[in-house]
Structure 1
Amino acid sequence: MQLRPRGLTAALLISAAGAVPALASEELLKNTCSTCHTAEENGLSRISGQRKTPEGWMMTLVRMQQAHGLEISAEDRRAIVQHLADTQGLAPSEAAPFRYALEKDPNAQESFDEPFASMCARCHTGARGLLQNRTAEEWALHMDFHVGHFPTIEYQALGRDREWYKIARTEIAGYLAEQNPLETAAWTDWQAAEKQPVAGDWVVMTDLPGIGEAYGKLTVTGDASPYQVSGEFMTADGTAHPASGQMNLYTGYEWRANLDIGGTAYRQVLALSEDGNSLQGRQFDRSNDALGAPLSGVREGAGSVILGTVPSAVPAGEAQVQVVGTGLDGLDSSSGEAAANTYGAALSLAAEGNGVVTFSTGGAEGQIAHYTSLDSLKVEPEFTIARVGGGSEEGPAAVPAYFNAVGMWNGPDGEAGTEDDVRVGRVEAQWTVANAHEHAAHMKDTEFAGEMQASGIFAPAVAGPNPDRPFSANNAGELRVQAEAMGQQAEAMLIVTVQRFIDPPIR
């Protein structure tokens, strides 16, 4: 069975529509894995000494298929991942620092101390190594695994300049055993904690790349994974984007959903709060995970909660604003009229000049800026990468980059770009790209690397040798992404690089 790495997270953690879900159980695990893994006091050898995220366990099972010939149905595989994630997963606090790797955040930048940075984070994210807990014996065996499966690891850059295996065995294994041991108080407490059922109505807020800021409501039904999800997302102009699909809940808080939203397939990688009343994470296009945005949510009926507003800021004058949240009856606003609705409260404004409207109810507070001018502009993210792609049926698709322009006011010091600046919110901007430096200009990167779209999405060029470039170079390049709005300008750095040919669920 041949699997495409890009689809593992999106497809394998959710059972196919209409398929009968297998029962997640210790018996199924033993029946599937005991041919190679022997029974021990605490379970099966090797398996019992590890804890991982759902993606981590899925990667292990797929490796068993690809490297060791394991034959298993998609339904049984999902059920085993469910069982292992529920019984040998990570506590919310253990996964929290590294969720960017699970969410495939294209703008996350890591920083780790030595020697972990060079020994581990040079080949994959440091998060991948730290999103698992093991016994000291298992961490030592993990070092052996690396040399066995990747024998050239000692001869690669940052490997051949040191005794890699010796350092891995004598320093890294011990460091990880202390940093991420199998048994922790956080995991013991989470296993014992009472968990609220996930079924119910959730008010959510996010951004649909190329479409705009959005809010909505998702209804979860069912008693166990896979749950059914239905609802809709609304944009600021009132357009509805129906949503439907399935969701698996792992470890009591790990929300993984595949949804169709207005005809586009999306993936949600979210985490429930420990009290089960809020959601936080990232939602992205399943065909290209670079096109995504943070998503926050709150359980309907969980008291008075304000997630934010759509739009996030408005030009001065008359405007309709959705205050997104729950329990917002009687919302008191410093300007305009508010009326509760199914997504929180609708706020009608008629504001002049630059200013901020505040609103509150039941202890929940929020605000929205209205503006006639900006003191400065900011491009988010300030630095990211895109990847050329396509050009063949087998090669990876191009990976775009998504930018937003954010208006700013000077703070009390009267200077732009300082810590006391006031964030106004997202504003409409005109987008262009420029060569990042002299060599980029010489290589004509703006001409070959791709094009900037009016939506703020940069679309990279096709991959492969280009005879129109010096030395038939690939269409990589280094660009400055420029935004202009209301007389203000800002820019960000964009590296357009080569394809990623291996793309596992945790990079």
Structure 2
Amino acid sequence: MIPSLRKGHLAGLAGLLLLMPLPAAAEDGPALLDANCGGCHAADETGVLSRVKGQRKTPEGWLMTIVRMRLFHGMEITPEDQGKLVHYLSETQGLAPSEAADYRYILEREPAVVEDVDAPLGEMCSRCHSAARFTLQRRTQEEWDLHIDFHVGQFQTLEYQALGRDREWLKIAREEIVPLLAERYPLESDAWTTWLEARKPEANGTWLFTTTLPDKGEAYGRLEVSGDAQPLTVSGSLVTAAGEELPVSGRLNVYTGYEWRANLDIGGDKYRQILAMSEEGDRLSGRQFLHAEDSLGGAFRAVKAGGTAAIAGVVPSTLPAGSEETVQVVGTGLGDVALSGALVASGGAANLYGASIKVTPSDETDGLVSVASGEASAENAIAVYSHIDSLKVEPAFGVARVGGGGGSAGKVPARFDAVGYWNGPDGEAGTEDDIRIGVVPARWTVAPFNEEAEHLKDVEHAGQMDTELGIFVPGVAGPNPDRPFSTNNAGNLKVLATNGDVTGEGQLIVTVQRWNDPPIR
């Protein structure tokens, strides 16, 4: 079992609040909105409340708004009603699947995304928060303009900070940024109109999935979703690549017709799922992570049982040559399995999760393998390798944060994967034609990133790397008398992964606590 490394924060609170019981009838929403918001927001001639009517957001976005109203404006609302209100606003003023698709990484708490934000939004907005935070909102031009007023009023030093005091920030914000935001992220859109009218996917049923657990690697399983009212009941099982079976149980709410938010117990560990159902209702995708520490998690992919034949994935997805392995093809409607490419085999046995097949790649086997069963197929789903030409550390740049020491912020670890590659046709490593093998076992170490890190003994003080899992747990927060000037346990480290005679290198910054950690950063 993975120990809890971090105390609760707003992101964790979101996991609880978004699992509150929801109203059985949508007509409860308007009355709830008026009762809790009408005291400050005036209604127009149609009864719609000012400010509220000009915005659309994700469930996390609406939760953040309500929490801000509570913290700064004295709004009083019960946790149950807060959950219902978030649900109502997400249903009636949310984002269509296509509008949220490119920015799901921020909802899923992906820890290693580097955004590429064009000017002038990079200098004016992303200097303080992620670009995904404003791209996951839709507003009228008037509301974008009022949003500028909110920033100036709420953050009085905004124009005196870096990238604010060197320009006419307020003038640029009003004359350039507001029209740009209104054009790119308008309140009204064809996508949202179409989604409001569309038939919504059904969460109830059986889902077959693949994922990755931080301490156990690749895994697969099935989820049974049932219930007549939200939160729905989730039960099932998960099987690791090593064959360990773990029970799964928990609760699920669905927002905006497709936004899947679940809290699960998997073998005694608490996990959070932030997923999206496909518009057709036959697939799930997103990220699953430890509820106590969102940096430790992995991708989650699922297909719904009972529909057309489909494959969610294969476990394991990388096979060392020369050893007998049982490959689990995870999916629905599967029969005999056919492997083609570097490994040719057919047959298999149907089971609760799809179908399994035993294979024994020869000692010299190298290459990618496609999987097919009936009409379902997955290209290059398996890599068989007898050697590795090069390794890359993913993410190439990671961040961990010191914590504990009596403070309210716990340690924030970082997790890395070693990804093997073969040289492409040019015979050289590190070029565009390299062929990705996938995640492979490695021995993990850290080293000083530069001379300054060596001088400050960052390896000694910044934390510890698990040599097998690639999980780095940072040091304790607060002054360290053994360091120059009694500074804290920050550090600048190389992350080294070694498999055989090849080594990959990444960088890890160990830095201070994050005191403000909202559901959307």
Is TM more than 0.5 here?
yes
Give a deviation string over 1:151-193, Cα, whole Å, max 9, x none: 1111111111112112111211111111111100110011111
8 A contact 1:8–1:504 mirrored in 2? no
Contact 2:22–2:229 at 8 Å: present in 1 too?
no
Map residues 222-371 of structure 1 onto 2, 5 A cutoff.
222-316=227-321, 317-333=323-339, 334-335=344-345, 337-352=347-362, 353-355=364-366, 356-361=368-373, 362-366=375-379, 367-371=381-385
- Unaligned stretches of 5+ in structure 2? 1-7
* Higher mean C-alpha deviation, range 355-364 or range 155-164: 355-364
Give the CA deviation at 1:301.
2.2
- Whole-Å separation in 2 of the counterparts to 1:480 and 1:152: 36
**How many residues were matched structurally?**
501
1:41-440 map, 5 Å? 41=46, 43-316=48-321, 317-333=323-339, 334-335=344-345, 337-352=347-362, 353-355=364-366, 356-361=368-373, 362-366=375-379, 367-392=381-406, 394-440=407-453
1:216·1:233 contact (CA, 8 Å) conserved in 2?
yes
Give 3-state SS (helix, strand or coil) of 2:447's partner.
Answer: strand
Q: Deviations over 1:108-167 (max 9, x none)?
A: 111111111111111111110111001111111000011111111111111111121121
1:7-47, Cα deviation, whole Å (9 max, x unpaired) = 332221111xxx68675522211122111112122611110
Separation in 2 of the partners of 1:144 and 1:181? Answer: 18
Shift of 1:363: 4.2
Q: What is the distance in 1 between the residues matched to 2:491 and 2:294?
A: 21
* In 1: Cα distance, 2:235 partner to 2:376 partner: 30
Structure 1 Cα separation of the partners of residues 377 and 128 of structure 2: 45
Q: Helix, strand or coil for the counterpart of 1:151?
A: coil
TM-aligned CA deviation for residue 412 of structure 1: 1.9
Residues 425 and 170 of structure 1: is their aligned pair in 2 closer, same or farther, counting only changes over 3 Å? same
Q: Give the whole-Å Cα distance in 2 for the aligned partners of 1:303 and 1:42.
A: 45
Describe the SS at the equivalent of 1:293.
Answer: strand
CA shift, 1:238, in A, is 1.1
Segment of structure 1 superposing worse, 452-461 or 316-325: 316-325
**What residue is the counterpart of 2:513 in the other structure?**
499
TM-score (norm 1): 0.96
Closer, same or farther: CA 6–253 of 1 in aligned 2, 3 Å: closer
SS at 1:183 equivalent: coil
Compute the displacement of 1:357 (Å): 3.8
Distance 1:196 1:167 in 2: 43
* Partners of 1:252 and 1:111 in 2: CA distance: 30
8 Å contact from structure 2 (residues 336, 346) kept in 1: no
- Contact kept in structure 2, 1:306 and 1:325, CA below 8 Å: yes
Residue 29 in 1 paired to residue 33 in 2?
A: yes
- The alignment partner of 1:60 has SS state of helix
| Deviation, structure 1 residue 486 | 2.3
1:4 deviates by 4.5
TM-score, L = length of structure 2? 0.93
The code of the aligned residue for 2:365 comes to N
Distance 1:8 1:307 in 2: 30
Runs of 4+ in 1 over 3 A off after TM superposition: 19-24
SS at match of 1:43: coil
Q: What's the CA shift for 1:275?
A: 1.0
Q: Does the residue aligned with 2:348 lie in a helix, a strand or coil?
A: strand
Shift of the alpha carbon at 1:336? 5.5
Give SS of 1:39's match. Answer: coil
**Structure 1 spans left out of the alignment, 5+ residues:** none
Three-state SS of the structure 1 residue aligned to 2:222 is strand
Structure 2 residue 504 is matched with structure 1 residue 490: yes
Structure 1 contact 206–215 (Cα < 8 Å) conserved:
yes
